Amino acid sequence: MKTMTTFRWYLLGLVLLFGAYVAVEYYRPKPLNWEPTFENKDKIPYGTYVLYQVLPEVLGVRARDVHAVRLPIYSYLEGEEEVTPESASQLYQDEAQTATSDSTLAAAPAPPDSAQLAAEDDYAAGLAESDYPKASYLFVNDEFELSSADTRALLRHVARGNDVFIAAEQFNSQFADTLGFRTAPFVGTPRLKGPAKAAGLQDSVQLRLSNPRLARAAGGTFRLPTLGAAYRILPDSGLQATQLAADEKGRAVLVRIPHGRGQLYLCSVPLAFTNYFVLRPPTSNFAFAALSYLPVGRPVWWDEFQKQGRQGEQSLLRVLLAHDALRWALYLSLAGAILFILFEAKRRQRVIPILRPLPNTTLLFTRTVAGLYQQGGNHALIADKKIGLFLEFLRTRLHEPSLDLDEAEARERLASKTGLSLAEVELLVRRINFIRTSRQVSDNELLLLSKALNDFRKAMA
């Protein structure tokens, strides 16, 4: 019994230690996530939660005019999911004409004549329909990926008199070739001594705004980490691109490209638009200065499709659950499969044989043993066993491994633990000692002993 008590203490100590470890792990501060996600819901250093929240103030619009887009560019601008086979040939013809006109507008090796200007004005007027919405489209991601249909839809959106701002390190090759530019990484030569020089990297890159007035208002130059601002924009020789920001060697990081009646803004430093650099005073004004070129008061579409995908895209059954007919078909199929399993299992189940319960021989054995004791006419052995079981009950119930009723202290402890008077305990002890010292125990004495033990148990309860 003592060994069992010690084991319980050890077990309790292990449980407490485990609980303390779980509590420490639960309340320990989580490590900061430095992964660049560029998502507008992330408050980690390289998310864009802060910029997305201050867009209404920066661009002078209401909060409800800033929309997070979770659709592909073509689907959102054209209102169609994909090109139908009937209109594919006509669409390609229209796009070929649009591409020809776009190239005429973008490439201007010599001053255009009046006929060319008139043609361009007619083309732009045709694109700028009165019912087409005016909005600025913003993209902030490490890579700008889009399909050919997305490219055509985005360029049409710009040509209709809208602005698109794209901040990314790498751009889709078809999109870049269409406009006539490319991006390339440039890592400067080391200027520090010691381990930094051995690593072959500068600690930071200095960026400058090209507009002197804007540069003075924004604070002049900005320093960003080298690995976060390693890419530069390299426009082709025939591209009419205006450099808006560059590094200390004059390589562009922010350019403006006219297209039709609108403007395309390309930035190769998307890290400058994340929470960490937007909240730091030395670098926060770069993002605001870059966005200041967008028109004020125009609705803003913020792209999240390239980072988070479609709304509810995490579900594998999103296509089935998106339509009522398919959803009900899925539910009916599942219900039919469950019914089929239940009925097939019931029909093919084997017949379970009925097993008769085993007879209870305990009562028969007890009666046999009691008959043997009764034939002897002496109940001393039965009384002695009842007293032994009662004393074992007291030791277990009162946690007294060495209970000896012959000791006065033991009887006092028994009276205090059971709540009975000492006189009642003494009376029971005298009856037990009387039975133990008797050679012959009659029926009446056995009944009196049994009644006294049962009454004592009831009084303890």
Using one digit for the tens of pLDDT, what is the confidence trace for 127-158? 445 567 899 999 999 999 999 999 999 999 99
Return the CATH number at 163: 3.40.50
The residue count for the chain? 461
> Do residue 164 and residue 274 come from a single domain?
yes
Report, as an integer, the average pLDDT of 281-302. Answer: 93
- The domain of 332 spans 316-349
Strand partners, 208: 221, 246
Decide: 299 and 134 in contact? Cβ < 8 Å.
yes
Final residue belonging to a domain, choices 327, 349, 371: 349
In this prediction, what percent of the chain has a pLDDT beyond 90? 38
> Do residue 229 and residue 273 come from a single domain?
yes
Is a pLDDT exceeding 80 seen at residue 88?
no
User: What is the predicted pLDDT for the residue at 53?
Assistant: 95
Q: Is residue 354 part of a domain?
A: no
CA distance 61 to 53: 12
> Do residue 329 and residue 371 come from a single domain?
no
Is a pLDDT exceeding 60 seen at residue 282?
yes
> Do residue 305 and residue 334 come from a single domain?
no
Is a pLDDT exceeding 80 seen at residue 49?
yes
Q: How far does CA 87 lie from the centroid of its chain?
A: 42
> Do residue 323 and residue 378 come from a single domain?
no
Q: Is residue 446 part of a domain?
A: yes
> Do residue 419 and residue 439 come from a single domain?
yes
CA distance 323 to 353: 50
Q: Is residue 245 part of a domain?
A: yes
Rounded to the nearest integer, the mean pLDDT of the chain is 81
- Beta 204-209 vs 231-235: how paired, if at all? unpaired
User: What is the predicted pLDDT for the residue at 456?
Assistant: 87
Report, as an integer, the average pLDDT of 231-248. Answer: 91
Is a pLDDT exceeding 80 seen at residue 176?
yes
> Do residue 142 and residue 290 come from a single domain?
yes
Q: Is residue 24 part of a domain?
A: no
Dihedrals φ, ψ of 35, to 5°?
-75, 130
Gyration radius (Cα) of the chain, Å:
44
> Do residue 139 and residue 205 come from a single domain?
yes
The DSSP call for residue 258 is E
Is a pLDDT exceeding 90 seen at residue 320?
no
Report, as an integer, the average pLDDT of 6-16. Answer: 85
> Do residue 174 and residue 291 come from a single domain?
yes
User: What is the predicted pLDDT for the residue at 315?
Assistant: 62
> Do residue 182 and residue 295 come from a single domain?
yes
**Highest mean predicted confidence (pLDDT) among 164-173, 391-400, 409-418:** 164-173
Q: Is residue 6 part of a domain?
A: no
Q: How many structural domains comprise the chain?
A: 3
> Do residue 309 and residue 385 come from a single domain?
no
What's the token pair of residue 440?
A: 């012959």
Lowest mean pLDDT among 123-132, 217-226, 242-251: 123-132
CA distance 25 to 388: 52
In this prediction, what percent of the chain has a pLDDT beyond 70? 80
One-letter amino acid of 265: Y
User: What is the predicted pLDDT for the residue at 198?
Assistant: 36
> Do residue 211 and residue 261 come from a single domain?
yes
